[in-house]
Amino acid sequence: MSLLFSPLPLRGLTARNRLWVAPMCQYSAVAGVPQEWHHTHLAQFASGGAGIVMAEATAVSAEGRISPDDTGLWNDAQRDAWAPIVSAIRARGALAGVQLAHAGRKASTWSPLSGHRGSVPHDAGGWPTVAPSAIAFDGFAAPHAMDTAAIDAVVEDFAAAARRAVQAGFQVLEIHAAHGYLLHQFLSPLSNLRADEYGGPLPDRARLLLRIVERVRDAAPDAPIFVRFSASDWAEGGWDVAETTTVAAWAAERGADFFDISSGGLVAHQKVLTAPGYQVGFAAHVRRGAGVPVSAVGLITDAAQAEDVLTAGDADAVMAGREWLRDPHFALRAASELGVEIDYWPKQYLRARAA
């Protein structure tokens, strides 16, 4: 029996397998509203057999967008535009998830599709950014340090976005605390130099994330809640896998169900050592150390490799990104490569199953 193609229960839901689509920004929204591109992009992965299709980093406020072209859930028009996309994912048998995010000091940047780099000027549609401390990401505009009222507002923005996500039909909610965005900025001592209750010792640096987990759980009592962590800053003196493990356990106590383990993104001087499956060890550390379920991600590109991650006990599921872009039917192909019979091949594609 393939572990990769065994179902996984998630707070009253069941993912039909453990090969999932990681959130991947498309930089193709208009005023935070997803477009036809998002519909086709996400629905195809569900047709391709994914267990969960996780929509991209979706801003909880206009100021929280990575770029002017990011999707959002800060108003009802965005919620209503997501609804048919979510319906298409679910109709094809996958669970529909969304990553709720605030970019902090990495907001108001040019989309990589634009051909520009750095912060978007105000006269070109940019906006002031915020962070735990007034420390700029290298090459970006300096942010404003958040006061406690601004922090409280962000907590409520996450809760409101969670409610809209559920109203749109999303079944799984992921809180983005990775890749150098706002919640990661609070967690890491490289970006958080605060001297109040949100800075300094680990419990204080984790306070904002834990408050958000609690409020999202209140706003979406029945939904599986994921947290995505960067388990290492890949920089001296930064956030590391031991702190990730500790905070994951605290988040689980407050209502988080599952942890999506990535790495990096906080500082430009990071030194990432990449190789196939290079982040799997981080996932394994968190899984064993915190006693929580996790997904592994990062250069996992074929069925045997993904199966090995699970059989080794290093993770409970595998997230993939680029491989799904190369092959939107990655799960169907993986099942064939592993010799697994699944009952969710689209009937229209059955003629290709034996190839």
User: Would you give the DSSP letter of residue 186?
Assistant: H
For residues 140 and 7, give the distance between their C-alpha atoms in angstroms, rounded to a whole number.
43
Q: Which of 293, 330, 327 is nearest to 313 (CA)?
A: 293
Per the DSSP assignment, residues forming a β-bridge with 229 are: 177, 261
For residues 18 and 300, give the distance between their C-alpha atoms in angstroms, rounded to a whole number.
13
Q: Is 61 within 8 Å of 88 (Cβ atoms)? A: no
Backbone phi and psi for residue 270, each to the nearest 5 degrees, phi listed first: -60, 150
For residues 102 and 186, give the distance between their C-alpha atoms in angstroms, rounded to a whole number.
12
Angle at which helix 207-219 crosses helix 148-168, to 10 degrees, equals 30
Catalytic residue among 27, 181, 278, 344: 181
For residues 66 and 332, give the distance between their C-alpha atoms in angstroms, rounded to a whole number.
33
The count of other CB atoms within 10 Å of the CB of residue 195 is 9
Decide if 181 is catalytic.
yes
Q: Is 307 within 8 Å of 4 (Cβ atoms)? A: yes
Q: Tokens at residue 305, please?
A: 């490799």
**Helix spans in the chain (H):** 36-47, 76-91, 148-168, 182-187, 202-205, 207-219, 241-253, 280-290, 303-311, 322-326, 330-338
**Helix, strand or coil, per DSSP, at residue 252:** helix
Q: Is 355 within 8 Å of 54 (Cβ atoms)? A: no
Q: Give the active site residues.
A: 181
